[in-house]
């Protein structure tokens, strides 16, 4: 056990709980589409709707959640979200056992778990900087992203194996158990946050306004050239990424003819790229600069994803694995750098609103990508849809290439360093 994991008990609990939760979420990413395809005989469009339902809450409640997260302690929010997710995922096999499970109910459960995810992810993004000292945040982000990628590899493999051995529906028992574990870990964290929000009793003029604070977060992102660039890139990139992921199970099972158990294995092998990306992200950034490394990881590596639509039965299945590996490696390495940048660059009292505003754009396009991929798959075919989405992934990084990032070695580490941002555009 090294570094933070050895000397920081609370980070160790957060790390284990988050890693376990990511494992369960990865089981679900395979099990949910397989339930829809193999148990409920859902159409390609319905599978796309399932992917959209998980992310639609970011559009509906993402912005106000960011304000609420900045107003109150983040750990209780994460606890409530983990408990809700546990109960919701447990309801899937129970409904199936009772003969009540259908595509409508599966969509409703997915939508509800998406709401829980909005609360958890927004609170989690703002919570980590309060738990770790600034000097430890880069290591913390690297460890969390690396373990999350490893958990994803194990989760998608387990999801396919469970589906083959005992049925996809039973994968939900695993996911419910992982969120229960996450809840227990969070419950045992000793660190308590200090609210930085103004006290209305002491200063009546500081009475918070939901609309005003949402606007403050949006202005922070819209008026800051760095945050704006990352938000626009994330929105376009996630549309393409989720579009591809929404149809990849259909592509493997119905177009290529892969068995459900092998689906999990193929996705898991490709997901090894996440571990590689987490490992090399900070190291490459230290050598060539954080701005340059971001462009390399988000544009250079994901180009290889164009091998995915060339995959076919037999040896050409390796093209799916190689393309996915490179894409995931680039995305995770870029996320490690971006997470460290945002946590050091944004004022602590605005972290929740900044995260929600960024994620409103980043995740708000995901339902569009899922529905679009489902609609395209039903009209032009699954393989052409995979081509469209795969080509869009590296194309999104052109936003970074034509941004100020292309002319910098490193991203700024605080807003004060970004002297090109007009003072009038800075949020107090």
Instruction: For the chain of 428 residues, list the mean pLDDT of each consecutive stretch of 10.
Output: 69 85 79 83 82 82 82 87 94 91 92 90 79 74 70 67 73 86 91 60 52 81 88 91 86 85 75 79 88 90 92 90 90 85 77 78 81 88 93 92 88 64 35
Does 422 reside within a domain? no
- Max Cα-Cα span within the chain: 70
3-state helix, strand, coil in the chain (%, to 5): 85, 0, 15
pTM: 0.68
Does 203 reside within a domain? no
Tell me if 398 sits within 8 A of 236, measured CB to CB: no
pLDDT of residue 157: 63
List the CATH number of the domain containing 222.
1.20.1250.20
CA distance 185 to 278: 23
Give φ, ψ of 353 to 5 degrees. Answer: -65, -40
CA 405 → CA 28, 54, 332, 425, distances in Å? Answer: 36, 32, 18, 19
DSSP 8-state assignment for residue 365: T
CA distance 363 to 360: 6
Tell me if 21 sits within 8 A of 179, measured CB to CB: yes
pLDDT of residue 125: 75
Tell me if 399 sits within 8 A of 233, measured CB to CB: yes
CA distance 184 to 180: 6
The total domain count for the chain is 1
Q: 85: which 2 tokens?
A: 């997710």
pLDDT of residue 152: 65
Does 195 reside within a domain? no
Tell me if 397 sits within 8 A of 265, measured CB to CB: no
> What residue numbers bound the domain in which 82 lies?
3-190+213-416
Q: How many CA atoms lie less than 13 Å away from 124 in the CB half-sphere?
A: 26
Tell which residue, 7, 90, 402, has the closest CA to residue 225.
402
Q: 382: which 2 tokens?
A: 């699954």
Does 206 reside within a domain? no
Does 167 reside within a domain? yes
Does 341 reside within a domain? yes
CA 193 → CA 15, 75, 122, distances in Å? Answer: 18, 8, 15
Q: How far apart are the first and last CA of the chain?
A: 41
What one-character-per-residue DSSP string does 109-165 give?
Answer: HHHHHHHHHHHHHHHHHHHHHHHS-HHHHHHHHHHHHHHHHHHHHHHHHHHHHHHHH
Ramachandran region, residue 381 (left: φ > 0; alpha: ψ -120 to 50; beta: rest): left
Q: 393: which 2 tokens?
A: 């992934």
Does 289 reside within a domain? yes
């Amino acid at each position: 056990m090294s570094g933070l994991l050895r000397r920081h008990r609370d980070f160790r609990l957060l790390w284990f709980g988050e890693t376990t939760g990511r494992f369960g979420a990865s089981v679900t990413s395979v099990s949910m589409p397989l339930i829809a395809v193999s148990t409920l005989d859902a159409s390609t469009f319905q599978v796309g709707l399932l992917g959209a339902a998980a992310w639609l809450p970011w559009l509906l409640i993402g912005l106000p959640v960011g304000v609420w997260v900045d107003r109150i302690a983040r750990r209780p929010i994460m606890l409530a979200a983990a408990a809700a997710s546990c109960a919701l995922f447990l309801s899937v096999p129970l409904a199936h056992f009772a003969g009540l499970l259908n595509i409508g109910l599966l969509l409703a459960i997915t939508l509800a778990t998406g709401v829980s995810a909005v609360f958890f992810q927004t609170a989690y993004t703002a919570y980590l900087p309060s738990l770790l000292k600034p000097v430890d945040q880069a290591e913390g982000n690297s460890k969390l992203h690396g373990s999350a990628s490893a958990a994803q590899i194990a989760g998608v493999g387990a999801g396919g194996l469970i589906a083959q051995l005992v049925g996809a529906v039973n994968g939900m028992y695993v996911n419910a158990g992982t969120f229960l574990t996450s809840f227990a870990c969070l419950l045992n964290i000793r660190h308590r946050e200090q609210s930085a929000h103004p006290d209305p009793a002491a200063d009546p003029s500081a009475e918070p306004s939901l609309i005003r604070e949402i606007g403050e977060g949006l202005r922070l992102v819209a008026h800051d050239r760095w945050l704006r660039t990352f938000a626009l890139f994330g929105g376009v990139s996630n549309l393409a990424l989720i579009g591809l992921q929404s149809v990849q199970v259909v592509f493997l099972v119905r177009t290529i003819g892969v068995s459900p158990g092998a689906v999990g294995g193929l996705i898991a092998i490709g997901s090894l790229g996440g571990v590689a990306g987490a490992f090399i992200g900070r190291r490459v950034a230290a050598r060539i600069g954080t701005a340059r490394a971001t462009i390399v990881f988000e544009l250079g590596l994901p180009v290889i994803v164009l091998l995915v639509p060339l995959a076919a039965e037999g040896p050409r299945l390796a093209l799916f694995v190689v393309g996915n590996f490179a894409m995931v490696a680039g995305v995770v390495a870029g996320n490690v750098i971006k997470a460290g940048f945002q946590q050091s660059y944004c004022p602590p009292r605005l972290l929740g609103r900044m995260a929600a505003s960024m994620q409103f754009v980043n995740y708000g396009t995901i339902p569009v990508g899922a529905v679009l991929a489902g609609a395209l798959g039903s009209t032009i075919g699954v393989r052409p849809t995979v081509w469209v989405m795969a080509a869009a992934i590296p194309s999104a990084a052109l936003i970074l290439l034509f941004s100020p990032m292309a002319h910098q070695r490193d991203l700024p580490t605080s807003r004060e360093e970004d002297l090109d941002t007009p003072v009038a555009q800075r949020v107090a």
